[in-house]
Chains A and B, each alone.
Chain A
Amino acid sequence: MTGSALTGSNPTRSDHISATYVVQVRRRRMYGGLTLALFTLLMVSGFVVADGRNAGGFWAGWHQMLDFPADVLSEAWEKRANLPALLVKFFPALVETINIAAASTLIGAMAGLVLALLSTRGLAKWPALIPVFRRIMDVMRAVPEIVIALVLIFILGGGPVPAMIAIAFHTAGALGKLYSEVAENADLKPVEGLGSTGARWIQRMWLGVLPQVAPNFLSYSLLRFEINIRASAILGFVGAGGIGSELRHAMSWGPGRFDEAAAIFVLLFGAIVFFDQLSSRYRNKMIEGQ
């Protein structure tokens, strides 16, 4: 073997390998082309079906899509003098919405962490129960937040608590799935090392896995926090309080209060930008290990 590194090529053998490989490549290209064609077909047919079932029709209505934003903007522009006062007026509602989002993200992340570790191959305490925990997370993700919130509002009455529970429930399922995928790629050697010292499962997870996955977990949690700010604003529409209820009042009254709607959009946009900047800063710090 030592001297065979660069022995002269054997033309027939090399040609045979070439031919087989080219056949393989052709087959792969054909599959690739078929997938692309299928994708295009699905896109077009999906659009046609959706358009057919639409009450108004896409082609008849698309040029009116910008009418509403135009109305809001023009009215807000006319009453732009009110904007600073309105921003101050709605700020407490924004704080309430962010509160709902923060509490539900924290609770959801903790539940998601436990679910993720219990449903990751190689880490799970009870490997046989992995499918059970996975299905639990599937259910948590499958039920829309708004459905849970509506049921809870019916039982507990309106307010921020039902919204928080609803969002936390969904967050636990969603983050659990993402965490579990990150944890799957974690290096098992440190876990084995801790295991060799007689450490318990929680110790192995906390001290062996978390330090490796923390930056990714944090980054997913902060992304989820952003999503939850928007979700808790939407839940305000169905009576969960916060900036969402204010937005519904402003919009459902029609023209006349669009300056308020614009102020609320500005606040929401500002909040998302703020938390995005904040999260990327802390994420970088954590990854650099400072």
Chain B
Amino acid sequence: MLTLQNLTKTFGDKTAVHKVSFSVDRPMMIGIIGRSGAGKSTVLRMLNRLSDASSGAIRFEGKDITRLKGAERRNWQSRCAMIFQQFNLVPRMDVVSNVLHGTLNRRSTLATMFNLYPDGDIHKAIEILDRLGIAEQAPKRAEALSGGQQQRVAIARALMQDPAIILADEPIASLDPMNAQIVMQALRRIHEEDGRMVIANLHTLDTARRYCDRVIGMRDGRVVFDGAPEALTTDAAREIYGAGTDFSEAATSTEIETLDRPEARPPEVFAEAFA
């Protein structure tokens, strides 16, 4: 279905992504993990064609995505929705208009410039917002919403595109644990109910383990782990993050339940840190 072959991206003499290859044969939820700067965002941006690959190919249903130009490229972008860490909504426009931006690729430029969307689209946008539990916010400006609500508006915009793939670039990195859980559950439900493929960059291991069917670990632009979440042992995690033996997954966890686990915050960690 989706195949990446030796995908490479260089910025000047720096290689951000080095010969990344993997293939996905059916819609599933994939988590890409790794340190900041490992090239996770660059991979997603190349998938969406927000940035161009230096070499290599991305094939979706047999077509090479990296070669698309003009209207064909924009068509692909509308089938491959993107969700950002900082939400990337238009702050001064109302929530429904932001969701309707998901239809921009299908509508004429002139009509959208004057905000003339068909009533059917408006009803559909509000249904999606209702599905995500934020229909009450519909007439408000996007900037008036909390971070968790804004991220759900961004997901609604992605759903409005009716995409085959949803790419999520650190969707919960700016959110508190409770909103993070709501957003991750929403993405999981979208995968399960609509059968869409979801590829999410995540920076916490437990989130990847809990919500994803497959985990890809990246380090310095290369894929160093690719497998089921169960195979992601602590050793594998140390390899991905390039960490030593002092690495503890619980120390970076954002899950609320972690607090109940006694081993989550061993007092000696703090004692060492402040020694």
CA distance in complex: A4, B148 (Å): 13
The answer to the question of A290 belonging to the interface, with a C-beta cut-off of 8 Å to chain B, is: no
Query: Cβ of A22 and Cβ of B119 under 8 Å apart?
Result: yes
Given contacts A2-B178, A22-B119, A25-B122, contact A17 B186 (CB under 8 A): no
- B250: interface (CB < 8 Å): no
For A24, the closest partner residue in chain B by CB is B139
* Distance of A13 Cα from B126 Cα, bound (Å): 11
B185 engages A20 (CB within 8 Å): no
- The contact of B133 among A7, A18, A24, A28, by CB within 8 Å, is A7
CA distance in complex: A20, B189 (Å) = 28
How far apart are A19's CB and chain B's nearest CB, in angstroms? 9
Separation of A10 and B126 alpha carbons in the complex (Å): 12
**Bound form: Cα–Cα A140–B134 in Å:** 51
Does B114 interact with chain A (Cβ within 8 Å)? yes
How far apart are B138's CB and chain A's nearest CB, in angstroms?
A: 5
Q: Tell me whether B138 and A9 are in contact (CB under 8 A).
A: no
How far is the CB of A142 from the nearest CB of chain B, in Å?
A: 31
> Is B132 part of the contact surface with A, judged by Cβ < 8 Å?
yes
Among B116, B127, B183, the one with the most A-chain Cβ atoms within 10 Å of its Cβ is B127
- Is the C-beta of A21 less than 8 angstroms from some C-beta in chain B? yes
Contacts of A13 in B (CB 8 A): 130, 135
In contact, B114 and A32 (Cβ under 8 angstroms): yes
Cβ < 8 Å to B, chain A residues 3-52:
4-7, 9-10, 13-14, 17-18, 20-22, 24-25, 28-29, 32
> Hey, which chain B residues are within 8 Å of A20, CB to CB?
139
Alpha-carbon separation in the docked complex, A28 to B189 (Å): 35
User: How far is A28 from B115 in the complex, measured between Cα atoms in Å?
Assistant: 10
Number of interface residues of A (CB under 8 A): 20
Q: Which of A5, A9, A14 interacts with B185 by CB under 8 Å?
A: A5
A6:B126 contact, CB within 8 angstroms = no
Closest-by-CB residue of B relative to A25 is: B122
Determine the main DSSP class of A at the interface with B: helix
| A36 nearest CB neighbor, chain B only | B114
Would you list which residues of chain B between 110 and 143 have a CB under 8 Å from chain A? 114-116, 119, 122-123, 126-127, 130-133, 135-136, 138-139
Instruction: Specify the chain A residue showing the minimal Cβ separation from B117.
Output: A25
Residue among A6, A10, A20, A24 facing the most chain B CB atoms (10 A cut-off): A6
CB–CB A14/B132 < 8 A = no
In the assembled complex, which residues on chain A have CB atoms less than 8 Å from the CB atom of B136? Answer: 17
B126 touches A21 (CB 8 A): yes
Contacts of A17 in B (CB 8 A): 126, 130, 135-136, 138
B96 at the interface (CB under 8 A from A): yes
Interface assignment of B253: CB less than 8 Å from any CB of chain A: no
Interface membership of B181, Cβ < 8 A:
yes
In the bound assembly, the distance between CA atoms of A17 and B122 in angstroms comes to 11
Least CB separation from B134: chain A residue:
A5
* Chain A residue with Cβ nearest B256: A2
Cβ–Cβ contact B126 & A5, under 8 A: no
CB atoms of B130 and A2 under 8 A apart: no
A1 cross-chain contacts in B, Cβ below 8 A: 178, 182
- Expressed in whole angstroms, the Cα–Cα distance for A199 and B133 within the complex equals 48
B interface residue numbers (CB < 8 A to A): 96, 114-116, 119, 122-123, 126-127, 130-133, 135-136, 138-139, 152, 178, 181-183, 185-186, 189
- 8 A-B residue contacts at CB 8 Å? A2-B181, A5-B189, A9-B130, A14-B135, A21-B122, A25-B122, A32-B114, A32-B115
The interface of chain A, by Cβ under 8 A from chain B, is 1-2, 4-7, 9-10, 13-14, 17-18, 20-22, 24-25, 28-29, 32
Given A9-B131, A25-B115, 12 extra CB contacts under 8 A = A1-B182, A2-B178, A5-B182, A5-B186, A6-B133, A6-B189, A9-B130, A17-B126, A18-B123, A18-B126, A25-B122, A29-B114
Rank and list the top 5 A-B pairs by shortest CB-CB distance, nearest first: A14-B130, A5-B182, A9-B130, A18-B126, A6-B189
